[in-house]
Amino acid sequence: MVDLLKSREDIDRIDRQIISLLEERMDIAKNVAEYKISVGKKVYDKQREDEKLETLGSLASNEFNKHAAQELFTQIMSISRKLQYTLVKTESVSKSFEAIDKLPITADTKVVFFGQEGTYTQQCMEDYFGTDIDSFNELTFRKVMEAVKEGRADYGVLPIENSSTGGISDIYDLLLEYDNYIVGEHVVQIQNALLGLEGATIENLKTVYSHPQPLMQCAKFLEEHDYIEKKEYLSTAASAKKVMEDGDITQAAIGSKKAAGCYGLKILKDSINFDNTNCTRFIIIANQKIFLKDANKVSICFELPHKSGTLYNMLSHFIYNNLNMVKIESRPINGKNFEYRFFVDVEGNLCDAGVINALRGIKEEASSVRVLGNIKKE
Ligand SMILES: O=C(O)C(=O)C[C@]1(C(=O)O)C=C[C@@H](O)C=C1
């Protein structure tokens, strides 16, 4: 049997050779980049990489080593591309974004929020902008997006993610559709209460109205009271208003304590969400490509060719540039069954070299990429 020390010495010798060859290969990749810059050729040459993997695989003496060689060279060529992107300096996807010191907020600033008087979104807006602003509400997410896109509001406030039930997928789809940008975020503690009319009791309820999100956040309570029919409605505040207007003591709404005050309802039971730490993250949107100079979270969206390994390869741009990915969501692409686009948040600022490099690589290798915003995270 060969002694362990001897084997390790041999491995160390071979690894030194590999490093020296890797460095030589990287220097050549730089020459290739210079050539590509001079003739305007793209860094990524898929055909060349596929041919190389085929040839290199065939040099191996068994199936295990063939697979290993192909895996290793997939990585080597991916790193070679990353080096080339730093030299080629294609136009950055974030080039048109303007860095600012502070979000412009004046007495004339108009803010649109989702829902009605008494929604959590209104509470978020007041926490973020204060109460001295000119605001109005819209009853659907789409209408909020429209008001911002058309410039009827400078900013819009929308929920994007709940700590108990996850991402609010409609918002992701609408962000792309309306070409609006995320310029801020705020997290609000959500304590859902069961609201009813004077004289109502939990035992005698027949119907409960709320937005689909709070209905999900209170799923456990609603399962335990399954004689109450759940009905999805526009918003928590619109549900409270409906219960007040219908004047039927068998109806209840799920919403905030504030909504109870706004619509003259009483609290039949407080905090019926299944998770006591329940909170929602709201986004502030604008139709301007602006970001704060001290922003530290970048949101992007990309689409990938429907092939194995493409997501892994795309995420490698973050890893290679030392960027911490803090969120990933996928959404189906309409018209392309079972193909997805990905929404990713990474820590960083659009001016950081690492972010610029990662975005450059993703732009070259994804089917499409968009920066949705760069905000200061809470
Ligand atoms: O041959 C090229 O065009 C290169 O840029 C070199 C290389 C490699 O490292 O082998 C890197 C990127 C291309 O996608 C293909 C191959």
Q: Where are the domains of the chain?
A: 1-89, 193-269
Element (H, E) at 63: helix 63-88
Structure confidence by residue, pLDDT tens digits, 213-233: 999 999 999 999 999 999 999
Pairing of strands 279-286, 155-162: antiparallel
pLDDT-based confidence at residue 107 (cuts at 50, 70, 90): confident
- Please determine, for residue 339, whether its predicted confidence score (pLDDT) is greater than 90: no
The pLDDT of residue 378 is 85
The pLDDT of residue 68 is 98
d(CA 10, CA 7): 5
Contact 160, 171 (CB under 8 A): yes
Pairing of strands 279-286, 181-189: antiparallel
The pLDDT of residue 89 is 80
- Please determine, for residue 370, whether its predicted confidence score (pLDDT) is greater than 90: yes
pLDDT-based confidence at residue 94 (cuts at 50, 70, 90): confident
Cα of 47 from ligand 1 centre, angstroms: 10
pLDDT-based confidence at residue 306 (cuts at 50, 70, 90): confident
The pLDDT of residue 244 is 97
Nearest CA residue ID for atom 9, ligand 1: 77
> Which residues have any ligand 1 atom within 6 Å of their CB?
29, 32, 43-45, 48-49, 52, 77, 80-81
The pLDDT of residue 64 is 98
Structure confidence by residue, pLDDT tens digits, 40-84: 999 999 999 999 999 999 999 999 999 999 999 999 999 999 999
Both tokens assigned to 274: 């299944």
In this structure, which topology does domain 1-89 adopt according to CATH?
A: Chorismate Mutase Domain, subunit A (1.20.59)
d(CA 68, CA 346): 31
Both tokens assigned to 115: 């829902």
The pLDDT of residue 117 is 86
In the annotation, is 280 catalytic? yes
- Please determine, for residue 28, whether its predicted confidence score (pLDDT) is greater than 90: yes
Contact 160, 145 (CB under 8 A): no
- Please determine, for residue 309, whether its predicted confidence score (pLDDT) is greater than 90: no
Percent of the chain with pLDDT over 70: 100
Please choose, from the candidates 327, 295, 318, the residue with its C-alpha nearest in 3D space to the C-alpha of residue 366: 318
Nearest CA residue ID for atom 1, ligand 1: 48
User: What is the domain class of 193-269 according to CATH?
Assistant: alpha beta
Choose the residue to mutate in 21, 32, 88 for probing ligand 1, maximizing ligand atoms within 8 Å of C-beta: 32
The pLDDT of residue 228 is 98
121 CB burial (10 A radius; 0-12, 13-18, 19+): buried
Atom of ligand 1 nearest to the CA of 29: 6
Structure confidence by residue, pLDDT tens digits, 237-256: 999 999 999 999 999 999 99
- Please determine, for residue 156, whether its predicted confidence score (pLDDT) is greater than 90: yes
Cα of 44 from ligand 1 centre, angstroms: 7
Mean pLDDT check: name the lowest of 296-300, 303-307, 326-330, 339-343: 303-307
In the annotation, is 250 catalytic? no
